[in-house]
Amino acid sequence: MRKTELKINVSKSTKPVLKRTTEEDAMIKASYKNGMGITEIANQLGVSRQVMLSRIKGLGVWERKTVDVEPKLIIDLCMSGKTLPEIVQQTGSTEFIIRRILKENKIKCVRSKTVVRKFTISKDTLQDLYITQNLTAKQISEIYGCKTAQVYIALTEYGIRRPVAVNVAKNVLYKLYIESDMSLDEVSLKLGLKKEKICRTLKKYGIRKRAKFSFSITEHELRDLYVNNNLTRKEIARRFDVTESVIQNRINQYKIQKLLEIENK
């Protein structure tokens, strides 16, 4: 039954199919021999280029049209600074043939010519962006509309480097976090490092995070902080040293909503 259904679906295909007539074959042959392109013929008959190419091959008139080019001419054009598209246009050859000739002669050709915008910036400005504002070279290049490599060159010429990352000793981190029982926020504030850096260093040294205490908060307390005091979930989480998702779960559990959240519904 399945095979029968498939045969019926195929027979009802609505894809355009060329009718094989003598007049049509003669017209296709004449158009192709007179120099008309395969795509142009296909457009006239309302079919794809691939369908027309198969038809022309079936008629036995298809031939690969190539232009004989002296390898020396391609090499000379490449050495003179011409791009690959320019060589294709001047010689009439294909990119495949040009690439093959260049590869055989171990020559690399310019792919394209791009206008490089001149990048000028003072040392103080670059240091402020790269060090003080902590922007990346890519972000600076986007501001000035230049290439990232130009920013790196300027950084090298001015001798501007980011401060070496501070490595926290294992015993110092263990003493603060385990023995002194300080929270991650307190450790990061004490060492002047980001909380994410502390977490990565703990993992690097194999120091396991302390098990979080059993978190308990009443509906009244959470409502007072979240609604009356208008604290964010992140701020409440930091106060109780828990994750933001824990606070969100309690908010959902107690069905607490701010006035703005209710109005937006």
158 vs 9, 124, 127, 165, 230, CA distance in Å?
71, 10, 9, 21, 48
pLDDT, one tens digit per residue, over 207-262 is 876 655 567 888 999 999 998 888 998 899 888 877 787 888 889 888 888 765 55
Q: How confident is the model at residue 8 (pLDDT cuts 50, 70, 90)?
A: very low
Average pLDDT over residues 136-165: 84
CA gap 147, 156 in Å, rounded: 15
pTM as predicted: 0.29
15 vs 6, 40, 48, 221, CA distance in Å?
16, 19, 11, 69
From the list 68, 97, 102, 103, the residue with the least C-alpha distance to 82 is 102
Residue 111 has pLDDT above 70, yes or no: no
For the CA atoms of 189, 190, 192, 195, the dihedral, rounded to the nearest 10 degrees, stands at -50
- How many other β-carbons are positioned within 10 Å of the β-carbon of residue 200? 12
The alpha helices in the chain, defined as continuous H runs, are 2-11, 22-33, 38-45, 49-59, 71-79, 84-91, 95-104, 123-127, 137-144, 148-158, 170-174, 184-191, 195-205, 219-223, 233-240, 244-254, 259-263
- With tokens 């690439």, the residue in question is 99
From the list 131, 151, 207, 200, the residue with the least C-alpha distance to 175 is 207
pLDDT, one tens digit per residue, over 19-32 is 568 888 888 888 88
Residue 6 has pLDDT above 50, yes or no: no
| 192 Rama class: left (phi>0) / alpha (psi -120 to 50) / beta | left
Residue 74 has pLDDT above 50, yes or no: yes
Better-scored residue on pLDDT, 90 or 18:
90
From the list 66, 62, 63, the residue with the least C-alpha distance to 97 is 66
CA dihedral for 12, 13, 15, 16, sign (positive or negative): negative
Q: Specify the pLDDT at position 7.
A: 42
CA gap 12, 17 in Å, rounded: 12
Answer for the pair 109, 83: CB distance below 8 angstroms, yes or no.
yes
- With tokens 């004490």, the residue in question is 190
CA gap 45, 31 in Å, rounded: 12
pLDDT, one tens digit per residue, over 126-148 is 999 988 887 888 889 888 888 88
CA gap 117, 143 in Å, rounded: 12
